[in-house]
Every structure is written in structure tokens, then in C-alpha cells.
Structure 1
Amino acid sequence: MATSPLLVSLAVGASVLGVVLSFMLRSTSDGRIVNLGGIPILNAWKFFSKRYDFMSAGFRKAGGLPFSFRILQYRVVAVSGTEARKHFFNDPTLGFVEGYRILIGGPKMEDIDIKTDVLEDISGVHKRLNLLLKRERISETLPTFLEDINRRMLGWGQGSNGSINPFKEVYDLVLQMTVRMATCQEIAKDVDVIKKIDKMYWDIELSSTPTRLLLPWIPSPSKKLGEKAMMGLYLLFLKYVQDGRAAGAETNDPIDVLIRNGDSDNDIVEVIIGAVFTGFVNTGVNTCWALLYLGTHPQWRERARKELDGLISRHTSTSPAGEPFHRLLSSIPFDAWESELPIVDLIIRETIRLSFNVTVPRRNLGKDIVIQDTVVKKGDFLVYSLGDANLNPEIYRNPEEFDPGRFEEGREEDKKVHFGYLGWGAGRHPCAGMRIARLEIKLVLAMLLLGYDYTLVDGKGRPTNVLPKPNRNDIQQARPMGETVYMKFKRVRD
């Protein structure tokens, strides 16, 4: 039977198209950088949905070389290694804000068409945060933090005993402190308002789906959820800013401090939204993991307890009968919390090394630059996985194990290479909230390690020493993979 000319034409056309597509979508390399190839939107989808796995797989495919891919109309270059780190964290042409604005899903005022100026220059953000996080303000707020912590902990379980999911209750506790440090007393004292803030922030986090980030013009459910939550946060904080301005901005509350600084209402709201989100997400996850690691490493838990007991004995006198434990802690000066807990500092440092391994972005705002023999053009994005340093077996022995002693004098594994530790930022962009974050973690650890006994249990209440690994694709929370781990506690000190 004769073959139809139409079928022949279709077969030839399909073959040609297949050859063309295979040529266009294949990965390519010029010896300096590997273009991942493939369908661009699928690469971008993986970047937004399973970022840690995508970066790891990309470097395996590229044989350790830099690799590039596309997100929408943008070229993105992924880099790794010591020399790349130096450029990434030190080059003044690489924009911090511009990188986050496009490649990271988080709360942004522009999503609800509100223009602000505060994020145009990262130095302006740091200047405002420095106003809010002055040593004097932190010292004044420290006793109130401990009141907040105690009140929240009394609400756990049956008050003196019970079981909690730290990634819920401890997060709520950290949110309480962050709101107090970034907004005003009226919000910090109102539990119902804080619950609303909590829900709206997590709605924004849930809305940061690949669909919303890659196809922002589509009115998807995630887009509607994110915009509704963002507008809710904006209107909520705006009300308190306007109330503070109408009252003359006479207090030392953060909102009044920014009003006196000459900032507009919208700029103040932008600072608050960013500070609260960054503060309670990052500090919350690190506090939770510190508690879990100490729950499975009794030797470090005991060392931390002894150090905290020593802090109390050095800075408090015999307390009056019946004085609550948290008020005893509140008499310890901020300087002592900051400088007299080296063991706790090691624990926090190691916790962050293990739990905080996100991929951070930058955008080249200047002329073309060369990194690892690769030309990064003006307008291109750069991405770098913190795990390239923090989890690198060439820097850290047994990098997946919890071992705070790796930072002690005589070992100092992080000093082997430049920027060998990236827990608090590096170079031109250190973490502006590091001081307050460390204090919040230390206060929670002090209250729990000295005021409570706790064990880790599974969902059926059975003790467990098997600690899951962080889900490093969970960009905001890094919760444990697998079953939920709970803390079964008993209060031993009032």
C-alpha cells in the first residue's frame, strides 16, 4: 500500500523538529560555564519548588563549573567555590535588594501596587534597622521579652507539663518578641492582633508558589491569597503608624522612632513588614533546631545548662522568696548575655550552619564582571547556595553532624578558607539583625534549659533520639523531613 505524501511530510517535519529541539534544549559548555539546556520554564519551576535539590543537581551536571539557566526573561548564573564566594559577597556592583525582589518569594509592597523608597538602597534599610536595634533599646526591652516568653510558655499544654510542636509554639513565641521589637506596644500586647499577623505572614509564604512567581499575570488562587494577606498586613500596620503620627510620635516604640526619623507612612510599613518577616522566620527556625539538637545531644545540653547557671550566679543576688525565674533572668544585663555565653554561642553557630542553607541571589547592576572565568553581564542574576560552604566536607569534618566543638580554639574548621562560615551573612551584607536574633535565641534556651525538663517524642508520645534532617527545599521554615518531632516538657522552676 502506497504511503500518503501527507504522512511522509508530517514524519519528516516531526523528525526535523525533534532534531531542532534536541539541539536547542541540550546542555552546552564552553569549558567555563555550562548552560543547563532543557525547557526554561521547567528549570525555573524546579528552582522555585525544590531549590536546594536543583542547585545540587545543577552543579553535579556541570561537573562543578558555574551553570546558567533562565527565569522568565532573565539569565541566572549559579556559582560555587571559594573564589566565587569572595566576588559574590564583596563585589559592590552586585545588588542585594534587586536579587531578592525578583528571585525570592516574600512579602513585597509592590505586589499590591504600593510604591516605597526604602528598599531602593540596602544601606537605607540597615540605617533604619540600626535605629530600632540600638543597644539601649535592646537593654530596655530585655525584661519585657522575658515576660513575653514566660507568659507564652505558661500557655503551653497544661501550663506545667505537656507536649508541643516547636515549629508552631516556639515560632509563635519568637514572633511575639519580633513584633515587640519592630512595631509598638499596642500591637505587642494584643494577642488577637498577633494571631492575625501570624496568619497573614504564613498565607504570604503559602502563596509563594512557582505559578505565582513565574506566571504573575495569571489570577491564580495563590496570587489572590498572597495579595489579600499583603493588603491585610499593610492596612493593619498602617493604622498603627497613622495613630502614632497623630499622637505626636512621643514614645520610644519603633514606629514612633521611624516617624521622628522623617520616614513616610508607607516606608515605615515596608520596614516593619520586612523586619518582622525576616526576624521571626529566620530566628524561629534556628531556635527550634537548637532545641532539637540539644534534645539529642545531652553532653552539649549539660554544658549549656552549666554555663547559663554560671551566668545567673555571677549577675544575680539571692532572689526574694517566690520571685519568678524569668524575672531573675531579666536582672542580667544585656552585655552579659552577649559576651559571657561562649558555649551557647557555639551551639547557635553550629545550629545555623546545619539549618540555614538557602540559596541567596544578587543582580549585577554595573558593568560586565568576570567570576570563575565566566562573564556575568549587566542585568544578569547570580545565585549561591550557602550549603556550598556550610556543608562542605572539605571545610567541615562530618558536615551533616551536630558538633559545636568544630568552632572551638584548636579546631576552628571554619577558618580553613575565606568565608568558610556563612551563618550570619558575609562581606558587604552581614546580618543586620544578628545581635537581636542571638539574644532572642539565648533567652528561649535559658528559659527552657533551666526552667524545664524536656524530651523529644514522636507523634505517639514515644521518646526518640532519631532526629530528622532539615528539609532544605523548605525555603522559609526548613522543618524536619518526615514525621513531626514534639517536645514533651515538664516545668521544674517557677
Structure 2
Amino acid sequence: MSAIAVEPPVLDGGLPLLGHLTSFFRDPVALLRGGYEKLGPIYSFRMGGRKMVVMLGPENNRFVFQETDKLLSVRESMPFFHKMFSDDFYLFAEMDEYLRQRAVIMPRFKASAMKNYVPVMAHEAEGLVAELGDSGEFDLIPTLGPVVMDIAAHAFMGSDFKQKLGHQFFDLFRDFSGGMEFVLPLWLPTKKMRRSQAAKRKLHRILGEWIAERRARPLDPPDFFQDMVAATYPDGTPIPDELIINLILLLVWAGHETTAGQVSWALIDILQNADYRRTLREEVDHLLGAPGQGMTWEQAIAMQKMDLTLRETERLHPVAFTMIRKAAADFEHDGYRVHKGDWVLLAPSVSHRMAEVFAHPDSYDPQRFDTERSDAKMESSSLIGFGGGVHRCAGVNFARMEMKVLLAILLQHYDMELIDTPRPIAGAGTYWPAQPCRVRYARRRGDVSRAPADMAAMAAAAGCPAHQKEGND
């Protein structure tokens, strides 16, 4: 080790033995932001017996993502993953096996595959509109959370599966997600751990039966689930049923934990910013025309203004507000020593609001991500709400697309306003809006005879096929 390297500065104010454990669980973002304001982009604090080294900003984000599975271990940073899934699954598998498993999933989220998901997303969003009716109130998470789950169930397991289970699938997943525990020993038989394991057993039984059903009566043409049942590794080896089940559970679990919260925050941001809401509505009305005409993939990806608002919401309200790795060896970074066994923590919730990275960081400005604007902020690793590096969220394109579709259809049908003052859920759990966060809505009474945009003409005017803009985001 270099003689000039020093220990990261230590955040003061911790309690004996506990360190900043109670402060972190009371308000983790305030603790992390306070540390940054006092000590800068690299500092440390203690949570019980753990030393946490905080690294903030694009350069540190990039370093952590590059060194994951090298100097830094993602496997040891998420002990709950063992209980929720299995010891040799995905992030916990050896690198060669992890890449084999990831190769099974990634083709399902390419642009060519995404075309099949947009009608599913639009169908479920229109189903929500039918349930809501002409006017009333709804609470964001209890309303949008099940829709996100319905989209996942419909897209990944098929419409017949979704119709069979209904919202029971959502309830099972809420119990299953209770196993996401960072601090308490996982062997403690707490109520939420028992419920998580019971939900896991039931989900495995249900999906196992569904695999058997699809093998006995294959769906033609195949959907996502049928493709998974028939899938093989790149070398042609059959995929075990347990892996198929875990991959499906991972996709639905990860998508639900992030997307339900992210789409709720996005709607909050839209309703709190009238000028940009008008911009979005103009885009939606132009592209989609009158309600009830469906939505195509080309229309969805053409909603560039909606893309910008989703990125700005990801910046302001990252649901994955921290990301943790564990040092697998001693190393130096930016003049500081990190020891084997230290926990390294990224905080999108703080990095996304650093004034040296984003101008006016607390202001809502979706246009900051517009590449046609001279000061657009597109620096690599500056926006990390969906992770980065080899472990970046596999379903990020799916998540962004379903949020676009759901928000566009709500804006197309309704005038809306917030009833409650939004605030994040207190504590260190999923960074969703706290309940209640209600929206009052009423059916729009404007022109209902609008025709949708001519997507072929728009693509020709742009000089390229419309779908090329989505690419491999």
C-alpha cells in the first residue's frame, strides 16, 4: 500500500457500539447527504460492527461498477439473496455461470422482443382506466403497484396466468419481498422472514405447476414464458426448472420493487409541474390521438419528452437509493485506504443531487437530459438509478417502457391533481412514496376525435426508422 494513502474521513456523531445504525434506519438519505456536505465525496461511518465507506459522484460510481466482481464483491453485499433465491443463482453464481444465466435473459429485452410487450402494457393500463371510471381518487402505490405486477405477470407468464391468479400474485410478492433484509441476521425467525419463506414456497409451487402445464400444452405462437420453458444455455444444455422459476421470480421481484415506486414518483413529478405536464400531454395527444385506439411500439418509443421526465424522476427519486458492495481485498482509491471486509456504499440519492454534476440539482428539469440542448448532462455513470456495469438492471428497457405506457394512458384519459403532500417512506426500506399519496382524477372532456400521428411519415421525415431511437439503452 502507498504510504500517502489515508483512511477515509469519519462521520462524527455516532453512538457507542451502534454507530450511525439508528440514524441510517430513521432517515438514510439525510445521513448520507449530511456526510457528503461535511466530508466530501468519500467518507466512512459505522453501522453496528460494519464500517461503511461511502463513495459519491460519477467517477466513484464508475470505479465501483468496474471493480465489482474484482476488488468488490456484490455476492457478499446481499446476504438476503441466498434466502430469497439460491446459493448458486445469478449474482451468487461464479462469473461464468452468472454470464450463462444472464445470457438466457438478455435476448428477451432486446428491441425486437420489446415490440411484443407494448400491447400487453397498454392492455393492462387500459384495464386500470376501466376500473377507475370517470372520476374519483386513488392512492398511488396501492393502485399502481398491482398494475405493475399485472403487466409483469401478463408479459412474463402469459395472460391466462394473470387471469388465473389476479392480485393474489401481487400479495404473494409483497410477502416474498419482505425477505430483503440487510442488517438483521437472516436466521432470525421474524414474522416477515417466515412470511417471505412461505410465499417463496408457494410461488415455486405455482410456477412449477405452470411449467408443467406449458410443457404438456405448449403455447403457439410462444410467449415469454413458453420461450423460457424451451430455452437452453448457449451451449445447448437444458435449463433446470428451478433456474427458470428463479429467473422469473427475479425479473418480477426486481421490476416490482423499482418500477412501482419509480412510476409513482414520476406521476407525482408530472402533477407538481404544470408546464411540463402540458408538454407531455401535447406529445401524448399528438402521437396517440383519441383514447381507445391502442398503442404501438413505434408510438411508445417516439415519446421522447416522456423519456426525459422518467430520467429526471430517476435522478430526483431513485428508488434504489443505495447500492452496496463488500471489499474482497485491501485497496487504495483516490488517496484513501479501503480494507478487506469494509462495505462500500454508493448513494444515487446523493450523487444525483451533487451541484458539480447537475446544475440546480433540486429543481425539476427534464430537459437537462435533452441531447439537443447544449448543456445536457449525459456524463457516463452520472445517472445510476438502475445500477451500472455488468450488473446493471437487465430489465431497464422493459421498466422504462411500461412506465411510459402507463403514464401516457393516464394522461390521455384524465385530468389529475395531488391531494396529499408527497413524502418518501421513512426508514431504510424501499424508497416509495409514503401512503396515503392520493390523486384526484376526472375524465378529460376535450376533443375525442383526434387521429394518431402517422408514424411512418415521422420516421421518413427523420431520415431513419422510428424504432432505431430506442436501441440498446
TM-score (norm 2): 0.79
1:173 Cα deviation after fit: 1.3
1:229 aligns with 2:217: no
Q: 1:271 to 1:455 in 2, by over 3 A?
A: same
Separation in 1, partners of 2:419, 2:138 = 10
CA 1:88/1:40 → structure 2, altered by over 3 Å: closer, same or farther?
farther
Residue deviations 1:165-223 (CA, integer Å, cap 9, x gap): 12211221111111222223332223xx242221122224446567xx42333322232
Distance 1:111 1:426, change over 3 A: closer
Task: Give the corresponding residue for 1:79.
Answer: 55
Aligned to 1:368: 330
**Structure 1 position 237, deviation (Å):** 2.0
Q: CA deviation at 1:235?
A: 2.2
Letter aligned with residue 250 of structure 2: G
Would you say the 8 A contact 2:308–2:369 is kept in 1? yes
Task: Please list, as runs of the form range in 1=range in 2, the aligned pairs for 1:70-219 lying within 5 A after superposition.
Answer: 75-92=51-68, 93=70, 97-98=74-75, 100-102=77-79, 108=81, 110-111=82-83, 115-119=87-91, 120=93, 121=95, 122-156=98-132, 159-190=133-164, 193-206=165-178, 208=180, 213-219=183-189
Deviation readout 1:258-304 (Å, 9 max, x if unpaired): 22222211111111111101112212222222222221222111111
Give the conservation status (yes or no) of the 8 Å contact 1:457–1:488. no
Deviation at 1:230, TM superposition (A): 2.3
Distance verdict in 2 for CA 1:112–1:485, change over 3 Å: closer
Give yes or no for the alignment of 1:55 onto 2:54.
no
Distance 1:274 1:76, change over 3 A: same
Establish whether residue 393 from structure 1 lines up as the match of residue 346 from structure 2. Answer: no
Alignment partner for residue 479 of structure 1, among 433, 437, 462? 433
Contact 2:262 2:432 in 1 (8 A): no
Query: 2:48 and 2:214 mapped to 1: Cα distance?
Result: 42
Q: CA deviation at 1:385?
A: 0.4
Note the C-alpha offset of 1:112.
6.7
Q: Which amino acid aligns with 1:87?
A: F
Task: Name the aligned partner's letter for residue 196 of structure 2.
Answer: G
Alpha-carbon contact 1:76-1:381 (below 8 Å) kept: yes
Q: Report if aligned partners of 1:162, 1:490 keep a CA contact under 8 Å in 2.
A: no
Deviation at 1:479, TM superposition (A): 0.7
- The structure-2 alpha-carbon separation of the partners of 1:113 and 1:446, relative to structure 1 and needing over 3 Å to count, comes to closer
**Shift in CA distance, 475/411, structure 1 to aligned 2, threshold 3 Å:** farther
User: Taking structure 1 as the reference length, what is the TM-score of the superposition?
Assistant: 0.76
Q: Which structure has more RCO (C-alpha within 8 Å, separation ≥ 6)?
A: 2
Q: Could you tell me how far apart the structure 1 residues matched to 2:367 and 2:258 are?
A: 23
Over residues 127-153 of structure 1, what are the superposed CA-to-partner deviations in whole Å (9 max), with x where a residue is unaligned? 232233243332223223222221222
Greater helix fraction, Structure 1 or Structure 2: 1
Q: Percent identity?
A: 20
Superposed CA deviations along residues 371-425 of structure 1, whole A, max 9, x for unmatched, are 232333445431110123211122223322222122233353524x652222343
Aligned partners of 1:48, 1:125: CA distance in 2, in Å? Answer: 34
Cα shift at 1:82:
4.2
What's the C-alpha RMSD, in Å, of the aligned pairs? 3.2
For structure 2, the 5+ residue unaligned runs are 232-237, 450-473
| C-alpha deviation, 1:49, in angstroms | 5.7
* 1:127–1:47 Cα change, 3 Å: farther
Residue 337 (structure 1) aligned with residue 300 (structure 2): yes
- C-alpha separation in 2, matches of 1:66 and 1:187: 48
Q: How many residues align?
A: 429
SS in 2 for 1:34: coil
CA deviations on 1:309-353 (whole Å, 9 max, x unpaired) are: 22236xxxxxxxxxx833x233x3x24422x22211111111111
Deviates more, 1:382-391 or 1:113-122: 113-122
CA distance in 2, matches of 1:96, 1:342: 36
Distance (Å, rounded) in 2 between the aligned partners of 1:335 and 1:100 = 40
- The answer (yes or no) to whether the contact 1:59–1:65 under 8 Å persists in 2 is yes
Alignment of 1:260-279 (within 5 A): 260-261=230-231, 262-279=238-255
Alignment partner of 1:359 out of 315, 322, 336: 322
